Structure 1
C-alpha cells in the first residue's frame, strides 16, 4: 500500500551505540530500524512504516500526512524574552533590515 506512494521523510544515520545504521521516519518518530548497511536500513524502515500504515488503516486510525506534501505558509509565531527581542530589533535597525529578516537569517543558520 504505502510502498508505491511513499512520500514520507526518511533519514539513515550511523548509530555508534548500536554499531549499525539506524533508519528513522520524521512522520513516525517512535519507529526505527537497525541494519548493517544504509541500503538495508532504508528498506527496513520503509517496510516498517508500510506495515504500521496498513495496521492503522485496518484500525481506522488517522494517517499522518507526509511533510513533503504539506503546504507551509512561511509564518509561525515564536515567543522570546523581551531582552532578546530588543537585541534583535537593535541588530535589525543597525543593519538596515527588518526584524523578520534578522530572525529568518538566524533561524536558517
Structure 2
C-alpha cells in the first residue's frame, strides 16, 4: 500500500513537472509568433506600445528602446495570464489572409472629387486612394 502511495505521489510530481514544461513550451510558442507591435508617440512625451491582436496588452516608456523591452514583458505577462486562466489566445493576422483587394462604395460626389484629384495629380484613382488611406492610417487614432 505504501509503495502504491509513493508511486502515485511520484506520478503526480511528474504530471506537475510536465504541465510546467507544457506551459513554458506554450509561452515560447506564443512569444515566437509574429504579433503586430504598434508604437506611437505619446502627446505627453515618450511612447506607447501595444500588441494589436492581444486586447489590453499595452505599455508606455520614455524611449523606444525601453518601450520595446517593456512591450516584450507585457506580451509575456498577457500570454501567461491567458494560459493560466485557460483563455483562448488569438493568433496573429498573417498577410496571407489578405488579398490586397476590397470593394468600396462611396457617394457619386466623392467618387467625382477623387477622380478629378487623381487626374490633376497624374495618377490613377487607385493610386490616389491607396495614398490617402495610408496617410489617414498614419494620423488616425482609430485602432
Report TM bin, short chain: 0.5 to 0.7
Q: Offset of 1:73 from its aligned partner? A: 0.6
Q: Distance in 2 between matches of 1:16 and 1:91?
A: 32
Q: Which residue of 1 aligns with 2:112?
A: 86
Q: Any stretches of 5+ residues in structure 1 without a counterpart?
A: none
Q: Which residue of 2 aligns with 1:53?
A: 79
Query: Counterpart of 2:53 in 1: which secondary structure?
Result: coil
| Greater shift in the superposed pair: 20-29 or 96-105 | 96-105
Total equivalences in the alignment: 106
Mark the CA change 1:57 to 1:29 in structure 2 (over 3 Å): closer, same or farther: closer
Instruction: Calculate the aligned-residue CA RMSD, in Å.
Output: 3.2
Q: Which residue of 2 aligns with 1:9?
A: 36
Task: Give the TM-score normalised by the residue count of structure 2.
Answer: 0.53
2:51 counterpart of 1:25: yes
Query: Counterpart of 1:78 in 2: which secondary structure?
Result: coil
Query: Counterpart of 1:75 in 2: which secondary structure?
Result: coil
Q: Offset of 1:56 from its aligned partner? A: 2.3
Task: Give the TM-score normalised by the residue count of structure 1.
Answer: 0.64
